[in-house]
Structure 1
């Protein structure tokens, strides 16, 4: 088995899903956002987590789809809160329809996500649902912290890392833990897999922060420099403020709240002077190595663990 076969199984299942029929204004946005594609990392991790312990991953397919639908629900609502115009190179749902439609369609996606868990065998279903509910609440906590940071000027790097752990990383950890649970993994192995996913998620988000500033628009699928334009407290900004001279700090802060066309390039120039790109990439590498250490502890065949190693490398070396 290779990664492409798992991806094909996921895409095949997604292509057959019907989320609902009428009113079409409720369900068309769901079909739209799910058809935009994406990396399908979360369902892929669920299947790979299951495959580590048993070759047959069919029992994990629909729960994996549930996680992907949940993830896209969070994206739909996040886009509203961020007033983001573009998602995966296309108009966001609230732009294409309107905000009320996006809210309600997202709500249905959350309901459907839980439905896709209901085929889990009865002895494991309560545990799976409890883990999912805990994770889903943590994702919301992370998003709330992200919004609170918008009006705070004293956000620390540690607070930021905790926020992205909740908002992004815990879901990757849950996916692997879910796959392990469904295919009868030892609890200690499931714990190490979860930590592998969390650390990989931290590396993934920090890489995303980098791409937002240094990526290519055509490949990235979102507006490059969007975090700078919206004054988001990212690892790059917080590290720059920490390392900057008094003059550079003043210059960085002077751009807050402005919509000047030169803003992105001006802030980026300060980042370049302070070597922020390399420092951030160093943190990406740090969390990547921590992830691999946890994967090493998992009691499974090396050729199966190699699939997760390969995926992790692809994620931290990506340019989109």
Structure 2
């Protein structure tokens, strides 16, 4: 399955690079979000119930909710936007006897090489701590290098086309998140992204929250986010998603997102296989109202704790 996904991704990526994209660049950039198959399939509604690698990218506090050591790889293909992203991440909440969790990830993006020719490297790192079984707090940093050597809608200008061969963005931003779990099945989270206000639309400052209900087999969540930077005024994005684990190994997901800034509606769906040792997942989302765009997200995660190579909680330091 993983090999088939990789072959499909390469074929789609070659097709995506054939012509200049007709979409506005901000559609393909997607607010600089790094999505995993799970978060994409859930419509982005995963701030309250995320874990593993997804937590690193959407709510660092949730890295400490479960005891895991996961290493993952991901890929995003946007055919109409001529965008492709490839990355990897690791999240560990086992090694520290204090239950301190840590995560590190990196993603490389190429967007519309025959148009704006945008290339970016996104580095993420985060720490999280469980203050109790009900309260989790996480902080994260992100460093973005971005250059844009092509021509945008304003032609040959710094604003539209960037600086030839030079980074137009090279800066640090930080995130923070908190999750409250009144019970094992109910979660409430609040997350702030790019809280130091980097001052550019590639790293938009935003604050969002989510409420989720989840059991071993079923999860439902709704999120709302306010974006303070991308548009002339503060705009809202509302998201919802449902997840069902069929036959103990096959997650099935659907989601929806409304974007007040782009005035668009996006639907999404995903499926995968997960067991004690690894997971392989796929998600597809489509903007059905607004600038039509499709995104295909692949992911593979290896559960290192299942090998016995990591220390048990009793042996942690």
The TM-score, its normalising length taken from structure 1, stands at 0.25
* Structure with a larger share of its residues in helix: 1
Larger radius of gyration: 1
The TM-score, its normalising length taken from structure 2, stands at 0.26
* Structure with a larger share of its residues in strand: 2
